[in-house]
Structure 1
Amino acid sequence: MEDYAAKMALKPDGALREYVTGHAQYREEAVLAALNELRQRGQPAPEDATLRPQLEAVVQKAQADADALAAEAPETDVADLPRLYSPAGIVVVSATISVVAGAILLALNLYRLKKGNVIIWLVAFVIAYVIGRALLLKWMIAHHLFSPWTAPLIDLPVIIAYVWWFWPRYIGTYQFQPRNWLLPLGIFMLVIFVVLLLNPGTAQQLKEQIEQQMQQR
């Protein structure tokens, strides 16, 4: 009602009169706001006395129906909602660390929802992806098609599958208490750092392979 009041305050008298005379084609709240604005301007509409009670009755009934629907709607206690890692968190972890790390967060969500059988399918999906990714990268390197952007592009369909397939199909809800994904992100980064620290040759070997590939192109 307040929005209509502000809208009518900007309209000229002729436009307000049009709302009143053509009230059948406008919302009741809009016509009632036009009547109020005309009255405030000291130009009450001749139809005010007969039209206002009808409009007020319709508006009040609509408000009562809306309140009744809101009262009947089940209220979900926030404390009862499951604590899950959000789709955004899964995407960030997958893109920053690896899709395996993102799959771990998704699997933790499934475990919390007691959907252990789906975790098996998720693990199989990730294993198949890792094998296929390794074979594809090996083939691309052999054919001089590898570039620094290759791996992220290959990972993109898997990340999309997490949030557009696994989440709506198996998580099935967007009402949850969000868990802090920064902690697992930090843990994953720490693990990678420790692995590289203990095996410095791995990072150097990967760097040399990329540099060699770039020189050959």
Structure 2
Amino acid sequence: MAEDYAAKMSRKTQAELLLYVQNYTEYREEAVLAALDELEARGLEPAAAHTELRATLRTSQQETDRREAQARQEQAEQELARRQLRGEEPVAAEAPTGPALYSPGTITIFSVLFSMVAGGIMLALNLRTLRRTGPALLVLLFIVVYLIGGVFLVYWLRQQNTQLESWIGSLFNLPAILVYNLYFWPRYIGGQPYRSREWLGPLLICGLVILGFYFWLRQMMPAVPV
């Protein structure tokens, strides 16, 4: 509770009040200001006589209040840290910072569930968010080259009359996922702090694309005679 300096000064003698004014650097600013108010109220000192001193005291009081508030805040933070170490207070999780990006886990899951194309596009969108246009275009080029290479590989295997293409389809996305996570992400994103980007929208888009492709295939397939 703040001390009532006005009431305290009302009980002082004139000599005691003047002592506060003359040695103002040894007392709290509030006490000296209250002593000045009391002297003026008694008609012992004119208000104009201490205008400069009052301005100095008010400036000093503001600085004192700032230091004391900072000290109280630091003390409260130290006490909170001690309570957290003792398990008396939960440790608040730091809010993630940085741009919103699709995480490597999200990219991997989309590549497995849908296609390496979906994961690659998400990675390219990350790079675009970071304004790294060159690497984003490089990811898209990798997707195109990878798809073309995969088609030629399957065609070549069929020409060799092997059954390898039957299991290549199940592992087709794996090399691309490794390239995304072990090359593109460390090289062009690295330890960049980021917030996890919402993935429900891409999930709905991928689902609609697959559904549309399924109905397109049904329309293209010739009717089977009964």
- CA drift at 1:147: 5.1
Q: Is the 8 A contact 1:95 1:152 kept in 2?
A: no
Residue 207 of structure 2 aligns with which residue? 189
Aligned-partner Cα distance in 1 for 2:152–2:219:
22
Identical counterparts, % of pairs: 36
Which residue of 45, 69, 89 maps to 2:106? 89
- TM-superposition CA deviations, 1:180-205 (whole Å, max 9, x none): 22431231121111122123166x69
Give the aligned residue type for 2:152: L
Given the alignment of the two structures, is residue 133 of structure 1 paired with residue 150 of structure 2, yes or no? Answer: yes
- CA drift at 1:148: 4.4
Residue 47 of structure 1 aligns with which residue? none
Which residue of 108, 118, 125 maps to 1:108? 125
- Count the aligned residue pairs: 129
Give secondary structure in 2 for the equivalent of 1:186.
Answer: helix
Give the aligned residue type for 2:205: I
More helix by share: 1
Which residue of 149, 157, 165 maps to 2:175? 157
Given the alignment of the two structures, is residue 170 of structure 1 paired with residue 188 of structure 2, yes or no? Answer: yes
Aligned-partner Cα distance in 2 for 1:182–1:164:
25
Which stretches in structure 1 are left out of the alignment for 5+ residues?
A: 1-66, 68-76, 206-217
Aligned-partner Cα distance in 2 for 1:201–1:156:
31
Give the aligned residue type for 1:189: G
Aligned-partner Cα distance in 2 for 1:199–1:154:
21
* More divergent stretch after superposition (119-128 vs 163-172): 119-128
Q: Is the 8 A contact 2:154 2:165 kept in 1?
A: no
Residue 85 of structure 2 aligns with which residue? none
Give secondary structure in 1 for the equivalent of 2:172.
Answer: helix
- TM-superposition CA deviations, 1:72-111 (whole Å, max 9, x none): xxxxx84641100000000010111111111110011001
Residue 120 of structure 1 aligns with which residue? 137
Task: Normalising by structure 2, report the TM-score.
Answer: 0.51
- CA drift at 1:140: 2.1
Give the aligned residue type for 1:86: S
Aligned-partner Cα distance in 1 for 2:150–2:183:
20
Aligned-partner Cα distance in 2 for 1:154–1:172:
25
Aligned-partner Cα distance in 2 for 1:174–1:185:
25
Aligned-partner Cα distance in 2 for 1:114–1:199:
38
Aligned-partner Cα distance in 1 for 2:158–2:122:
31
Higher normalized contact order (CA 8 Å, seq sep 6+, divided by chain length): 1
Give secondary structure in 2 for the equivalent of 1:111.
Answer: helix
Give the aligned residue type for 1:188: C
Give the aligned residue type for 2:175: P
Give the aligned residue type for 1:89: T
Which stretches in structure 2 are left out of the alignment for 5+ residues?
A: 1-80, 82-93
Q: Is the 8 A contact 2:100 2:195 kept in 1?
A: yes
Aligned-partner Cα distance in 1 for 2:118–2:142:
14
